[in-house]
Amino acid sequence: MGTETLMIGLSVAVLVSYWFSHLGRVLRFPSVVFLLIAGLVLREVSDARDATVLLPPGLLPVLGTIGLILIVLEGGLDLNLKPGRRKFLLATFGAATMGVLLTTAVLAAAFHYGLKLDWPLATLMAVPFGVISSAVAIPSSEVLVDEDREYVIYESSWSDIIGVMLFNAVLLAVATGGRGATINFFAGGLTVLVMGALIGLAVFWLVGHLEGHVKFLPLIFALILVYAGAKALHLSPLLIVLILGLMLNNPHLFLRFKVFERLHSPDYRSELDKLKHLTAEATFFVRTFFFLLLGYSTDMSTLADGRTWLVASVIVAAIFLLRWPVMKLLSLGRGVRPLLWAAPRGLITVLLFYSLPAGMVPEAFPPGALILVVLLSCVIMAFGFRADAGRKTAPVDDEIVRRVDARAAPPH
């Protein structure tokens, strides 16, 4: 492939993705579905012309991991933690935890009895499908009212983190026969909490005090370096990323202590806005090529198999049926819908599934089921949001009531 052809292809991909994002907002449909379909069509066209390009084996996992880091960071930078939000935080954390554990348990049983897998492997394969994809849920939640969108951002971010921690713990249990898995899960969580707080303080100072035209891109790649290092130690680095984003956007949480006041800079807020814009642009770029290449790397013939549709349909049905009681219990009185539909699978599911050791995915599991689960769950979410996005719901908590009243009050 010539240099000019590659440059044209990259440029067209970004411009088309930008158009997809606008089209998605108009149609209330996830833009990632358009990207996946575009990738599938591109693969069919290239196959027909004998011009198929084989992707490097590690390209999708690397792109997806960078995209996941940026998406969780972007979500954290959008979240405001204020007094009186404890009930809301516990509810979203509880919903994410129950959702991951319940879906994993039911799908593990389905894989054990339906595909004849032993319990450890069945559980390990079920975890990726138990995790809500924040890469899809957060952008798609733009069609919801502010309070519902906030719930989706928190829950999907928690779900990513809990899912990765659970996946690492189960993978360690499978590799070691169960020795040390529980200790790794809880000790690893405590370790990343401490690391996240220390890194958050350091980056808070750097954002306000670094000089020069180039300063935020090195910060992002330093965060990627920390993520990779923590991942190599079998920790849960997404928690570090979320803590960093929350600390940067909510410095009042630690500036109340005088010892940290010297870290603050008068230019901090303006510099933070620049970091938010760069993160949003980089997230868009990486997400574009991950989902486009994911579609391109999929053989359409695998989606035509009846067994693929059966397995994918069972997984998707379990996802939404099990989400109903979770939302009924932990939606804070807002009602089950439209939050019921905010359970897409996407980037995190693909990444965890690709993280399974070579040879561990059994032949009984259809290769096309993974992308079909992503497509079906995204389509169901889109039509669910389209039907229920305007539904009136009860307020999430007293803090949201106060914010709504403040916006409605006439100016003095």
Average pLDDT, the chain: 83
Mean pLDDT for 47-70 is: 83
- Spatial separation of the C-alpha atoms in residues 136 and 156, rounded to whole Å: 9
- CATH code at 57-403: 1.20.1530.20
Question: Mind listing the pLDDT tens digit for each residue in 179-194?
Answer: 555 666 666 667 778 8
Residue 359 has pLDDT above 50, yes or no: yes
Q: Lowest mean pLDDT: which of 7-16, 82-91, 286-295?
A: 82-91
Residue 318 has pLDDT above 80, yes or no: yes
pLDDT at 380: 93
pLDDT at 182: 62
Mean pLDDT for 153-162 is: 86
Mean pLDDT for 373-387 is: 90
Q: Lowest mean pLDDT: which of 223-237, 316-330, 370-384?
A: 223-237
Cα end-to-end span (Å), the chain: 65
pLDDT at 125: 92
Question: Mind listing the pLDDT tens digit for each residue in 131-148?
Answer: 998 878 888 888 888 888
> pLDDT confidence of 130, banded at 50, 70, 90?
very high
- Spatial separation of the C-alpha atoms in residues 393 and 145, rounded to whole Å: 10
| 348: number of Cβ within 10 Å | 29
Mean pLDDT for 302-328 is: 92
- Spatial separation of the C-alpha atoms in residues 152 and 159, rounded to whole Å: 10
Q: What distances in angstroms separate CA 137 from CA 71, 132, 212, one per listed residue?
A: 11, 7, 35
Domain spans in the chain, listed from the N-terminal domain onward: 57-403
pLDDT at 403: 43
Mean pLDDT for 111-130 is: 91
